[in-house]
Structure 1
Amino acid sequence: MIVTLTANPSLDRTVMLPAPLQVGDVQSAASTREDAGGKGINVARAVAAAGEDCTAVLPLAPGDPFDAALRAAEVDAQRVPIRGNVRANIAITDPDGVTTKLNLPGAELSPDEVSAVIDAVVAASVGARWLVLAGSLPPGVADDFYVHVIRAVRRAHGADAPLIAVDTSGPALTAVVADGAPDLIKPNDEELAELAGVAIDGADPRAVLEVARVLVPARVRTALVTLGARGAVLVAADGAWVATPPPIQVVSTVGAGDSSLAGYVLAATRGAEEGERLRLAVRYGSAAASLPGTKAPAPADLPTGDVPVTRLD
């Protein structure tokens, strides 16, 4: 089983334009859609669509309109009651797949609500193979929140604790790398550069490897670094690989990184070797980029084109 935590879920509203966005102008939309979103929710939707057991933990007020979208996504969810309502994120995409996003801050959590979320993750993680902690942190939550979640889960479950993947950015990612010892992190090249405090040429996989090697395996066991249309680099203790995506028609890049993480975790759960984990991660990310809004890819949506995987070291 795979468990995800989305501390700051969002109702993702996507507006598809028939022409490029004109800032300051009035334009008519070609279509719109709404999805239950947030990084952990997006991972859970892709995992569930692949037929794997998955539980999504999230803070959610009783009667929040977000719950209707969550139920429509057919994701098994553990809802932790809070007072505030889920935020709404707005994405605007044009026919070339260029995406503009507006992300709202989310509901503020009280100390008691934060503790309840951690308790719910610990309870849901019994027997889980992977725990995915994903997304930004809402107001009222300290930067080291994910560190506290990791410690609580490992303290409660000991040797039976799940492997832990973290997909976040900024101070939350810095805290996890400094004190959390996660099994996997999934930054993109810009987030990795911010974390390391250096410039990275994302077009050069070996430049990405050089920076990631400072963290792996000293601070984290594995790093999956997504590079957008250039694919992804996987850095583990015993090797590093780069994968090139297959040709696709880009529709919306929102959630593509989340789907890449879902692909990796799915492959890892099925016992695949590192190179195959990277291949499925890139295939899932490519599938998500070819779908509208934050629609989660199912196995039938995966592109059939070749995904070359090359060892870097």
Structure 2
Amino acid sequence: MILTLTLNPSLDRTIEIASLGRGAVIRAAAARLDPGGKGVNVSRALLANRIASRAVVPFGGDEGRHLVHLLFLEGLDMVTVPVTGATRSNVTLAEPDGTVTKINEPGTALLPAELDTVAVAVLAAAHSADWVVASGSLPPGVPADVYARLCRRFAGAGINVAVDTSGPALSYALAAGPALVKPNQDELAAATGMPLGCVGDVVEAAKKLRAAGARAVLASLGADGAVLVEQDSVWYGEATVTEPRSSVGAGDAMLAGFLAAGARGVPALLEALAWGAAAVSLTGSRMPGPAHIRREGVTIGPPDLARRLRAPTDPPPPPSHSDLV
């Protein structure tokens, strides 16, 4: 069983538009509302593919009640924790060519007692878990080492922890030795302070995260595919997407596919890429099921280190807390 924790879940409204013009009145072609948050999406993707998962979800206010209702309608196995602050709402503007503009609220603070209650819920639910997925941004005021503390607690119990976050939370988690981290291209550049212009840069940056404590690194690169760096192997893969609709939640679907296939080696990378590509072909933050997943469009092999990335990434100035640079 795979347990997910989302400290900062959301309601995700996706609005399809013909084009985005600043200052213009834009008429929507379609709209949909989905439950969101990175861990929530991982559990939703696993549910869509009939793989056992449970989600720990703090919720508050009308938005939080609506979120829980939508998850209940999907049939998600979840542990809900009521909190005083309101659950955030995010807006995505999707254009026909696949361009996505996201507006994410920061969320509201979790009180220390509420964070303790969430931690107790995670510990109670994890007794039958093979993996705990700690993912997403942190609400305001939550200590940056919260995922690191989870890593240390579960490592002692023999439970693998996958971390998908950014900034200080990622840096602290690395030092706690997670079994897996899944940064995207921007997060990888920020965590290492390295410009990423080619696949070789991605491989070196991922090795830097392994040296900092992660046992394996799955780096998602959007349209450029993904790189998997493990102790004894490095693989590169990409997947064909004929008609991209929305990239929202695609990285979460990728992580879910990777874990569903055993979280190791080429078979797991193949499944990760197939699930991620399937999510890109769907509207909003829908998660793909078996009918959407096309493994024949995935290619995997040793990385061509000189291959240029379509969107090179320059990192921001390194944060003072980081011990990676």
TM-score, structure 2 as length reference: 0.89
Check whether the contact 1:127–1:162 (CA below 8 A) recurs between aligned residues.
no
Alignment-derived partner of residue 57 in structure 1: 56
Alignment-derived partner of residue 29 in structure 1: 28
Tell me how far 1:132 sits from its aligned partner: 0.6
More strand by share: 2
Q: In 2, Cα distance between the equivalents of 1:95 and 1:193?
A: 29
Matches within 5 A, 1:1-313: 1-17=1-17, 19-61=18-60, 64-155=65-156, 158=157, 161-177=158-174, 179-201=175-197, 204-216=198-210, 219-268=213-262, 273-312=264-303
Q: Deviations over 1:68-106 (max 9, x none)?
A: 122122211101121112100000001111000000011
Check whether the contact 1:118–1:152 (CA below 8 A) recurs between aligned residues.
no
Q: In 2, Cα distance between the equivalents of 1:126 and 1:286?
A: 32
Q: In 2, Cα distance between the equivalents of 1:303 and 1:231?
A: 15
Q: Deviations over 1:93-148 (max 9, x none)?
A: 01111000000011211001111111111111112111111100011201111112
Tell me how far 1:311 sits from its aligned partner: 2.1
Q: In 1, Cα distance between the equivalents of 2:51 and 2:9?
A: 21
- SS of the aligned residue for 1:299 comes to coil
Tell me how far 1:209 sits from its aligned partner: 0.6
| AA of the residue aligned to 1:248 | T
Check whether the contact 2:154–2:161 (CA below 8 A) recurs between aligned residues.
no
Mean Cα displacement is larger for which, 300-309 or 33-42?
300-309
What's the C-alpha RMSD, in Å, of the aligned pairs? 1.5
Tell me how far 1:306 sits from its aligned partner: 2.8
Q: In 2, Cα distance between the equivalents of 1:258 and 1:209?
A: 21
Q: In 2, Cα distance between the equivalents of 1:216 and 1:109?
A: 31
Tell me how far 1:175 sits from its aligned partner: 1.3
Mean Cα displacement is larger for which, 79-88 or 221-230?
79-88
| AA of the residue aligned to 2:112 | P
Aligned length: 302
- SS of the aligned residue for 1:214 comes to helix
* Structure 1 runs not aligned, ≥5 long: none
* Structure 2 runs not aligned, ≥5 long: 306-325
TM-score, structure 1 as length reference: 0.93
Tell me how far 1:62 sits from its aligned partner: 7.5
| AA of the residue aligned to 1:176 | A
